[in-house]
């Protein structure tokens, strides 16, 4: 009973201290957005090298936030878009600059498909979440009378993402969001390991998602007034 009470007390302490510090910088390069009801956005992760492998879960998280909060704008799922436009948006062939995209859309087949989907903005997310430090130790044993794990471990996860927004009617970058987050996680073990995890990726998604919604909401208000 004392062991259980100790584990509960320690769990409460580490739930409080396992946290994430996040910094989000937002640069809007255009004052006004020219949106129409039914316009679509596609959010794509950069995967063009082993060092840059943006998580598909983060891209899906951002898409979900925009779908829920921007009622007049549709977000095209990344997987659907990549399949529809294979192989032009695969890791090694995806355009790196708006003018490269403009050149790519000189192909009538691609341009017509973009028009059918109503895509107006491309959002590119580049970066990843990585473990940047760890310390502590833990041992586990099994004996005839029972067993368990004892020790303490801690680690740090760091995320660094840059999001760029392209307007494909002007083929210009119209916004940029930089997000950096650092989270400390803990795992005390007194018979049973209890992970206290900092939600670094989720917090990065929340920070970026809020800024993206703010970026597009001004244009959405214009749609509502016109309607």
> Per-residue pLDDT tens for 104-148?
999 999 999 999 999 999 999 999 988 887 777 777 777 676 677
Mean pLDDT of 17-38: 76
Does pLDDT of 99 surpass 70? yes
Summarised one tens digit per residue, pLDDT across range 163-216 is 999 999 999 999 999 999 998 887 777 767 777 777 888 899 999 999 999 888
pLDDT above 70: percentage of residues in the chain? 82
Model confidence at 91, pLDDT cuts 50, 70, 90, reads: confident
What's the mean per-residue pLDDT of the chain?
81
CA distance 101 to 34: 20
Does pLDDT of 23 surpass 60? yes
Q: Provide CB contacts within 8 A for 178, sequence distance 6+.
A: 24, 25, 161, 162, 163
Does pLDDT of 15 surpass 70? no
Q: How many residues does the chain have?
A: 227
pLDDT value of residue 222: 52
CA distance 34 to 72: 13
Q: Which fold has domain 2-226?
A: Rossmann fold (3.40.50)
pLDDT value of residue 221: 53
- Six-digit token string for 222: 């214009």
Q: 213 burial class (0-12, 13-18, 19+ CB within 10 angstroms)?
A: middle
Q: Which of 171, 170, 169, 178 is nearest to 212 (CA)?
A: 178
Furthest C-alpha separation in the chain? 75
- Six-digit token string for 59: 């891209």
Query: From residue 147, how far is each of 137, 140, 141 by CA, in Å?
Result: 17, 7, 5
H helix runs in the chain, sequence order: 2-17, 56-69, 78-84, 98-104, 108-117, 200-226
Model confidence at 226, pLDDT cuts 50, 70, 90, reads: very low
| Angle (CA) 28 34 40, round 5° | 95
Instruction: Give the start-to-end residue ranges of the domains of the chain.
Output: 2-226
In 144-219, DSSP assigns E strands to: 146-167, 172-193
pLDDT value of residue 12: 42
pTM greater than 0.85 (yes/no): no
User: How many Cα atoms sit within 13 Å of 72 on the Cβ side?
Assistant: 17
């Amino acid at each position: 009973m004392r062991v259980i009470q100790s584990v509960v007390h320690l769990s409460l302490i580490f739930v409080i201290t396992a946290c994430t510090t996040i910094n989000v910088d937002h640069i809007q390069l255009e004052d006004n957005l020219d949106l129409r009801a039914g316009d679509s956005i596609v959010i794509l992760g950069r995967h063009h090298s082993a060092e840059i492998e943006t998580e598909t879960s983060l891209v899906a998280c951002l898409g979900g936030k925009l779908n829920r909060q921007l009622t007049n704008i549709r977000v095209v799922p990344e997987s659907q878009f990549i399949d529809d436009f294979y192989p032009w948006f695969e890791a090694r062939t995806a355009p790196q600059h708006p003018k490269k995209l403009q050149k790519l859309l000189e192909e009538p087949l691609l341009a017509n498909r973009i028009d059918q989907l109503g895509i107006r903005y491309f959002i590119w997310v580049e970066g990843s979440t990585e473990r940047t430090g760890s310390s502590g130790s833990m041992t586990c044993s099994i004996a005839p009378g029972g067993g368990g794990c004892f020790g303490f471990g801690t680690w740090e996860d760091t995320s660094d993402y840059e999001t760029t927004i392209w307007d494909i009617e002007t083929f210009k970058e119209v916004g940029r969001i930089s997000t950096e987050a650092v989270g400390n996680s803990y795992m005390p073990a007194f018979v049973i390991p209890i992970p206290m995890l900092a939600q670094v990726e989720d917090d990065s998604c929340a920070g970026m998602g809020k800024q993206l919604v703010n970026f597009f909401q001004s244009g959405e208000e214009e749609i509502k007034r016109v309607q």
